[in-house]
Structure 1
Protein backbone atom coordinates (compact mmCIF):
# COMPACT_ATOMS: atom_id res chain seq x y z
CA UNK A 1 0.00 0.00 0.00
CA UNK A 2 1.36 3.38 -1.02
CA UNK A 3 -0.07 6.57 0.50
CA UNK A 4 -0.63 9.19 -2.21
CA UNK A 5 -2.96 12.16 -1.70
CA UNK A 6 -3.93 13.44 1.74
CA UNK A 7 -7.59 14.48 1.79
CA UNK A 8 -8.01 15.09 5.53
CA UNK A 9 -5.16 15.53 8.03
CA UNK A 10 -5.02 14.29 11.65
CA UNK A 11 -6.00 16.81 14.30
CA UNK A 12 -5.66 16.96 18.08
CA UNK A 13 -8.40 19.56 18.32
CA UNK A 14 -11.71 18.86 16.65
CA UNK A 15 -15.24 17.99 17.57
CA UNK A 16 -16.19 14.34 17.12
CA UNK A 17 -17.77 13.45 13.79
CA UNK A 18 -20.03 10.94 15.56
CA UNK A 19 -21.37 10.66 19.11
CA UNK A 20 -23.71 7.88 20.25
CA UNK A 21 -27.14 9.20 21.22
CA UNK A 22 -26.70 12.67 19.77
CA UNK A 23 -30.01 14.08 18.55
CA UNK A 24 -28.77 14.55 14.98
CA UNK A 25 -26.78 11.30 15.03
CA UNK A 26 -25.39 10.60 11.58
CA UNK A 27 -24.43 7.13 10.38
CA UNK A 28 -21.45 7.96 8.16
CA UNK A 29 -18.85 10.54 7.19
CA UNK A 30 -19.00 11.58 3.55
CA UNK A 31 -16.33 12.85 1.18
CA UNK A 32 -15.89 13.07 -2.59
CA UNK A 33 -13.70 10.79 -4.70
CA UNK A 34 -10.77 12.85 -5.95
CA UNK A 35 -10.96 11.22 -9.40
CA UNK A 36 -14.64 11.05 -10.34
CA UNK A 37 -16.37 13.19 -7.69
CA UNK A 38 -18.66 10.37 -6.50
CA UNK A 39 -19.83 10.37 -2.88
CA UNK A 40 -17.95 7.98 -0.58
CA UNK A 41 -18.93 7.22 3.01
CA UNK A 42 -17.09 5.97 6.10
CA UNK A 43 -19.55 3.78 8.02
CA UNK A 44 -19.30 4.65 11.73
CA UNK A 45 -20.72 1.30 12.89
CA UNK A 46 -17.95 -0.48 10.98
CA UNK A 47 -15.35 1.64 12.81
CA UNK A 48 -16.94 0.78 16.17
CA UNK A 49 -17.02 -2.93 15.26
CA UNK A 50 -13.25 -2.97 14.73
CA UNK A 51 -12.46 -0.72 17.71
CA UNK A 52 -10.65 -3.44 19.69
CA UNK A 53 -8.57 -4.86 16.81
CA UNK A 54 -7.46 -1.49 15.40
CA UNK A 55 -7.98 -2.48 11.79
CA UNK A 56 -10.76 -3.86 9.64
CA UNK A 57 -10.63 -7.07 7.66
CA UNK A 58 -9.32 -5.07 4.67
CA UNK A 59 -6.09 -4.00 6.45
CA UNK A 60 -3.42 -6.62 7.15
CA UNK A 61 -1.54 -6.83 10.45
CA UNK A 62 1.68 -5.71 8.73
CA UNK A 63 -0.10 -2.71 7.17
CA UNK A 64 -1.51 -1.82 10.60
CA UNK A 65 2.01 -1.91 12.10
CA UNK A 66 3.28 0.29 9.26
CA UNK A 67 0.43 2.78 9.70
CA UNK A 68 0.90 3.02 13.47
CA UNK A 69 4.54 3.91 12.86
CA UNK A 70 3.65 6.42 10.13
CA UNK A 71 1.12 8.21 12.39
CA UNK A 72 3.31 8.07 15.50
CA UNK A 73 0.97 5.82 17.47
CA UNK A 74 3.08 4.41 20.28
CA UNK A 75 2.79 1.90 23.07
CA UNK A 76 -0.30 3.58 24.49
CA UNK A 77 -2.19 2.57 21.31
CA UNK A 78 -3.99 5.94 21.27
CA UNK A 79 -5.02 7.96 18.23
CA UNK A 80 -4.47 11.72 17.97
CA UNK A 81 -7.80 12.39 19.70
CA UNK A 82 -7.18 9.96 22.59
CA UNK A 83 -9.38 7.14 21.28
CA UNK A 84 -8.25 3.86 19.76
CA UNK A 85 -7.10 4.04 16.14
CA UNK A 86 -9.04 2.09 13.51
CA UNK A 87 -7.63 1.78 9.98
CA UNK A 88 -9.84 0.84 7.02
CA UNK A 89 -9.85 0.81 3.21
CA UNK A 90 -12.74 2.19 1.19
CA UNK A 91 -13.19 1.77 -2.55
CA UNK A 92 -15.06 4.22 -4.77
CA UNK A 93 -17.97 2.26 -6.27
CA UNK A 94 -17.90 4.38 -9.42
CA UNK A 95 -14.23 4.40 -10.49
CA UNK A 96 -12.48 1.91 -8.17
CA UNK A 97 -10.08 4.37 -6.50
CA UNK A 98 -8.98 3.22 -3.03
CA UNK A 99 -8.76 5.29 0.14
CA UNK A 100 -7.24 4.62 3.55
CA UNK A 101 -9.20 5.94 6.52
CA UNK A 102 -7.87 6.49 10.03
CA UNK A 103 -10.47 7.08 12.74
CA UNK A 104 -10.12 7.55 16.48
CA UNK A 105 -12.83 5.58 18.31
CA UNK A 106 -13.42 6.28 22.00
CA UNK A 107 -15.87 4.38 24.20
CA UNK A 108 -16.67 7.13 26.71
CA UNK A 109 -19.35 5.09 28.49
CA UNK A 110 -20.62 1.53 28.24
CA UNK A 111 -21.52 1.03 24.54
CA UNK A 112 -21.43 4.80 23.90
CA UNK A 113 -18.84 6.02 21.40
CA UNK A 114 -17.37 9.14 19.88
CA UNK A 115 -15.52 8.95 16.58
CA UNK A 116 -13.07 11.42 15.07
CA UNK A 117 -12.24 10.91 11.40
CA UNK A 118 -8.55 11.68 11.67
CA UNK A 119 -7.30 11.17 8.14
CA UNK A 120 -8.34 10.11 4.67
CA UNK A 121 -5.70 9.33 2.06
CA UNK A 122 -5.87 8.12 -1.50
CA UNK A 123 -3.76 4.95 -1.86
CA UNK A 124 -2.31 2.75 -4.59
Structure 2
Protein backbone atom coordinates (compact mmCIF):
# COMPACT_ATOMS: atom_id res chain seq x y z
CA UNK A 1 0.00 0.00 0.00
CA UNK A 2 1.31 3.42 -0.92
CA UNK A 3 1.02 6.50 1.25
CA UNK A 4 1.69 10.23 1.14
CA UNK A 5 1.68 12.98 3.75
CA UNK A 6 0.90 16.70 3.86
CA UNK A 7 1.98 19.27 6.44
CA UNK A 8 -0.53 22.02 7.20
CA UNK A 9 0.73 25.04 9.14
CA UNK A 10 -0.24 28.74 9.16
CA UNK A 11 -2.88 28.24 6.47
CA UNK A 12 -0.46 26.64 3.99
CA UNK A 13 0.06 23.04 2.90
CA UNK A 14 3.35 21.33 2.02
CA UNK A 15 4.27 17.95 0.53
CA UNK A 16 6.09 15.85 3.12
CA UNK A 17 8.98 13.68 1.92
CA UNK A 18 9.94 12.34 5.35
CA UNK A 19 8.59 12.68 8.88
CA UNK A 20 9.42 11.10 12.22
CA UNK A 21 8.25 11.74 15.73
CA UNK A 22 8.06 9.87 18.98
CA UNK A 23 7.78 9.81 22.73
CA UNK A 24 10.13 8.16 25.21
CA UNK A 25 10.74 7.28 28.84
CA UNK A 26 14.12 6.70 30.46
CA UNK A 27 14.51 3.28 32.06
CA UNK A 28 16.57 1.93 34.94
CA UNK A 29 19.01 -0.99 34.69
CA UNK A 30 16.15 -3.51 34.85
CA UNK A 31 14.20 -1.86 32.04
CA UNK A 32 11.54 -0.33 34.27
CA UNK A 33 10.50 3.23 33.35
CA UNK A 34 12.26 5.73 35.63
CA UNK A 35 10.95 9.04 34.27
CA UNK A 36 7.71 10.49 32.99
CA UNK A 37 6.98 10.32 29.27
CA UNK A 38 8.81 12.98 27.28
CA UNK A 39 8.82 14.06 23.66
CA UNK A 40 6.93 16.28 21.29
CA UNK A 41 9.61 16.82 18.63
CA UNK A 42 8.60 16.30 15.01
CA UNK A 43 11.33 16.07 12.35
CA UNK A 44 10.20 16.78 8.79
CA UNK A 45 11.61 17.05 5.29
CA UNK A 46 9.40 18.79 2.74
CA UNK A 47 9.71 19.68 -0.92
CA UNK A 48 11.36 23.08 -1.26
CA UNK A 49 9.39 25.95 -2.78
CA UNK A 50 9.76 29.71 -3.19
CA UNK A 51 8.07 30.07 0.22
CA UNK A 52 10.45 31.27 2.97
CA UNK A 53 8.03 30.75 5.89
CA UNK A 54 10.11 28.13 7.69
CA UNK A 55 13.32 30.18 7.50
CA UNK A 56 11.37 33.17 8.85
CA UNK A 57 9.81 31.04 11.60
CA UNK A 58 13.29 29.82 12.60
CA UNK A 59 14.61 33.39 12.91
CA UNK A 60 11.86 34.31 15.39
CA UNK A 61 12.77 32.57 18.66
CA UNK A 62 9.40 33.32 20.23
CA UNK A 63 6.99 32.38 17.43
CA UNK A 64 4.74 29.38 18.07
CA UNK A 65 2.47 27.76 15.50
CA UNK A 66 -0.17 25.05 15.40
CA UNK A 67 -0.49 22.54 12.60
CA UNK A 68 -0.87 18.94 11.53
CA UNK A 69 0.59 16.19 9.40
CA UNK A 70 -2.05 14.16 7.55
CA UNK A 71 -1.18 10.72 6.20
CA UNK A 72 -3.17 9.63 3.14
CA UNK A 73 -3.73 6.37 1.32
CA UNK A 74 -2.40 7.32 -2.11
CA UNK A 75 -4.95 5.27 -4.07
CA UNK A 76 -8.08 6.70 -2.43
CA UNK A 77 -6.94 10.04 -0.95
CA UNK A 78 -8.59 8.92 2.32
CA UNK A 79 -6.95 10.21 5.49
CA UNK A 80 -5.26 7.30 7.27
CA UNK A 81 -4.35 9.30 10.40
CA UNK A 82 -3.52 12.84 11.49
CA UNK A 83 -0.77 14.03 13.83
CA UNK A 84 -1.75 17.39 15.33
CA UNK A 85 0.61 19.73 17.14
CA UNK A 86 0.07 22.96 19.04
CA UNK A 87 2.35 25.74 20.25
CA UNK A 88 5.24 24.47 18.16
CA UNK A 89 8.61 26.21 17.98
CA UNK A 90 10.91 25.67 15.01
CA UNK A 91 14.15 24.58 16.72
CA UNK A 92 16.21 23.34 13.77
CA UNK A 93 16.21 24.27 10.08
CA UNK A 94 18.25 23.29 7.03
CA UNK A 95 17.64 23.80 3.31
CA UNK A 96 19.40 21.57 0.81
CA UNK A 97 19.93 21.86 -2.95
CA UNK A 98 21.20 18.93 -5.02
CA UNK A 99 20.91 19.40 -8.77
CA UNK A 100 21.35 15.67 -9.40
CA UNK A 101 18.77 14.45 -6.88
CA UNK A 102 15.21 13.25 -7.34
CA UNK A 103 14.08 16.14 -5.11
CA UNK A 104 16.62 18.86 -5.89
CA UNK A 105 15.37 21.38 -3.29
CA UNK A 106 14.33 20.25 0.19
CA UNK A 107 13.81 21.81 3.60
CA UNK A 108 14.46 19.78 6.76
CA UNK A 109 13.43 21.07 10.16
CA UNK A 110 12.40 20.10 13.68
CA UNK A 111 9.29 21.37 15.44
CA UNK A 112 9.25 21.17 19.24
CA UNK A 113 5.58 21.21 20.21
CA UNK A 114 3.97 21.78 23.58
CA UNK A 115 1.26 19.28 22.67
CA UNK A 116 0.94 16.49 20.11
CA UNK A 117 -2.15 14.39 19.40
CA UNK A 118 -2.65 11.22 17.39
CA UNK A 119 -5.98 9.40 17.33
CA UNK A 120 -7.42 9.51 20.83
CA UNK A 121 -3.99 9.91 22.46
CA UNK A 122 -2.44 13.22 23.46
CA UNK A 123 0.83 14.24 25.09
CA UNK A 124 1.51 17.68 26.54
CA UNK A 125 4.90 18.94 27.71
CA UNK A 126 4.82 20.71 31.06
CA UNK A 127 6.46 23.94 29.97
CA UNK A 128 6.60 26.61 32.66
More strand by share: 2
The answer to whether the superposition gives a TM-score over 0.5 is: no
Q: TM-score, normalised by structure 1?
A: 0.32
Q: TM-score, normalised by structure 2?
A: 0.31
More helix by share: 1
Larger radius of gyration: 2
